[in-house]
Amino acid sequence: MQAATFLAYLVAAALFITGIRRLRTPETARSGNTLAAFGMIIALVATFLVTDVATPLSWPLIGGGILIGAVIGAVSAQRVPMTGMPQMVAAFNGVGGGCIALVALSEFYQGRAETWVAALTGLLTVIIGSLSFSGSVIAFSKLQELAFSGSVVFPLQQVVNALIFLSILVLSANVLAGGAIAQALGLPFLDPLISVYAIFVASLVLGVLFVIPIGGADMPIVISLLNAFTGLAAAASGFVLENYALLIGGTIVGASGTILTRNMSSALGRPLSKIIFQGIAAAGGGDEDQEEKEVNEASAEEVGSYLKDEAQKVVIVPGYGLAVAQAQGPMYELMELLESEGKEVKFGIHPVAGRMPGHMNVLLTEAGVPYDKLYDMEDINPEFEETDAVIIVGANDVVNPAAKDEEKDTAISGMPILEVENAKKVIFVKRSLSPGFAGVDNPLFYDQDKTMMYFTDAKQGLQDIAEALRNE
Amino acid sequence: MEQLLTQIAIFVIAAFLGWELISRVPNMLHTPLMSATNAIHGIVLVGAIIVIATASDAFTLTIGFIAVVFGAMNVVGGFWVTNRMLGMFRPPKPRVMKRKG
């Protein structure tokens, strides 16, 4: 029987791997997800078959718990709008972390973490799992704009964090030493189990403090990082429970989160440590030259006639402002209209265009844009030279050439950008001249030969351009 | 000890495998990737079930119950939402030559 479950878990792990492998292309991705889910079912069924329950109460508790969790999960997954995907992922990530931490906690309570290996990995699981849980709750609440939106900082934040982290380390050492450290310090009530509870609570607090200073545009990093954490916690719990499916699955998830975190921080052009330890870079600092500069303000009709008469190849650059204005639909219509005029339309997507890695792609796909029109930054950048018009909607920082200016030190310095300045014409659809999230002025705004500024709401603006095109 | 060494070996190999697998997923699919891997770590639900099964006291049963609810949410919600997202990825339109006029 032992061997049979072992093999079942191995099959599950193999299906997870195959599933992720199929996520390489959009054609195979959906079947990959189904395969992974199938692997999960095999692992669960195998567990049911070999489980002997200690009390008659166990089965109803297991069944009831799964039912409640499954219904909540399915209903929220079905209802969430695509703009709400980051907070949905944060929520699922958080409950996963919570589940992992609780399982490890009960291992200690039941006195099963006897060897030092079990104790050490158990402690890691409790710490990372609960940190991931509370961090995800805060990330969820920020993204959902319930509370703590923006960057919350208080004096001595780093010192407080360091002290909590230190106490977690000391308490962990105490657990591993069987309570000897607390004895030596004259704190006999801190037996190993109580210490584990204290670690659990301290890690929850640390998770909160870790995420509250991080502001809106850095959210993709936080989400990726928490994902990596939960994966690692799951891998650690694989050691504790001696379960290979958990070990393999958790490790792969950890690798995925790590890669995505790295991608995101290089896409923001700032090292990870800076984002986490400095909160949000000081916005503003643009008061050097405040004199009024002239811009080439354009109307929907002017934009429409340029697109119609002079643009053959058009690249659209969407930013998060597009999603905020719910303008994906009108954008799709504009794309169709341009194509029906025989023009070539592509989308250039910056890695941090949304609120999580790949978010903007999902939002555009939802609006109906076929995925072969979605181009990553590296793929679209060489094409701008032969592009007649770039339409930038609700984005600024990701197309701001100031990021490449080595003489100025701004919040976006070093951030890789979409090189729209190489195109023949640049059209901004934007509410006002105000710089974007990072507060850095964009020199492109004032290039009157190249740039058309169309000041309006993204949704209305795209509809008006489409209207103008139709009437031409 | 031997058990531990085997586990460490699996951990290291899985880490390299994970790195290779994930590096090949295009940016376009990073959101579904994240929610799918999210669902995969929900396999800890297995651990939560075992907690309930082996427990006989109220405290552990309560902890186990919360863990099972959390784990099931993670698994079902994660796969469900990924499936919903991937269902929206539409294949390219067949290239019809459009002629003007």
pTM: 0.89
- Find the CB nearest B61 among A57, A227, A340: A57
Which of the following is catalytic: A218, A397, A441, A464?
A397
In this predicted structure, the answer to whether residue A29 has a pLDDT above a threshold of 90 is yes
Long-range contacts of A141-149 (CB under 8 A, 24+ apart): A142/A211, A142/A216, A142/A219, A143/A84, A143/A86, A143/A87, A143/A90, A143/A219, A143/A355, A144/A84, A144/A87, A148/A212, A149/A216
- pLDDT for res A157: 81
> Is A31 part of the contact surface with chain B (CB cutoff 8 Å)?
no
Q: What percent of chain B has pLDDT over 70?
A: 91
Q: How do residues A339-382 score in pLDDT, each as one tens digit? A: 988 889 999 999 888 888 889 999 999 988 998 899 999 899 99
A397 is catalytic: yes
DSSP single-letter state for residue A348: E
In this predicted structure, the answer to whether residue A104 has a pLDDT above a threshold of 70 is yes
- pLDDT for res A278: 61
Q: What ipTM was assigned to the predicted interfaces of this complex? A: 0.91
Q: How do residues A45-72 score in pLDDT, each as one tens digit? A: 998 888 888 788 888 999 999 999 999 9
In whole angstroms, what is the distance from residue A174 CA to residue A241 CA?
Answer: 22
- Find the CB nearest A37 among B34, B79, B88: B79
- Find the CB nearest A106 among B26, B60, B77: B60
What's the mean pLDDT in A82-86?
A: 90
How many distinct helices (H) and strands (E) make up chain A?
Answer: 17, 6
Alpha helices in A150-299 (DSSP H): 157-176, 180-184, 192-211, 219-241, 244-268, 272-277
From A310, A354, A248, A250, select the one nearest A472 (Cα to Cα): A310
- pLDDT for res B62: 93
Interface contact A80-B81, CB threshold 8 A:
yes
Residue A321 and residue A394 in contact, taking contact as beta carbons nearer than 8 Å:
yes
- pLDDT for res A186: 80
**Quick one: tokens of A457?**
């709401």
In this predicted structure, the answer to whether residue A262 has a pLDDT above a threshold of 80 is yes
- pLDDT for res A72: 96
> Is A371 part of the contact surface with chain B (CB cutoff 8 Å)?
yes
Q: Of chain A residues 376-405, which have a CB less than 8 A from chain B?
A: 376
In whole angstroms, what is the distance from residue A298 CA to residue A48 CA?
Answer: 66
Per CB-CB distance under 8 Å, the chain A contacts of B66 are 98, 102
Q: What is the mean pLDDT of chain A?
A: 86
In this predicted structure, the answer to whether residue A279 has a pLDDT above a threshold of 80 is no
In this predicted structure, the answer to whether residue A288 has a pLDDT above a threshold of 50 is no
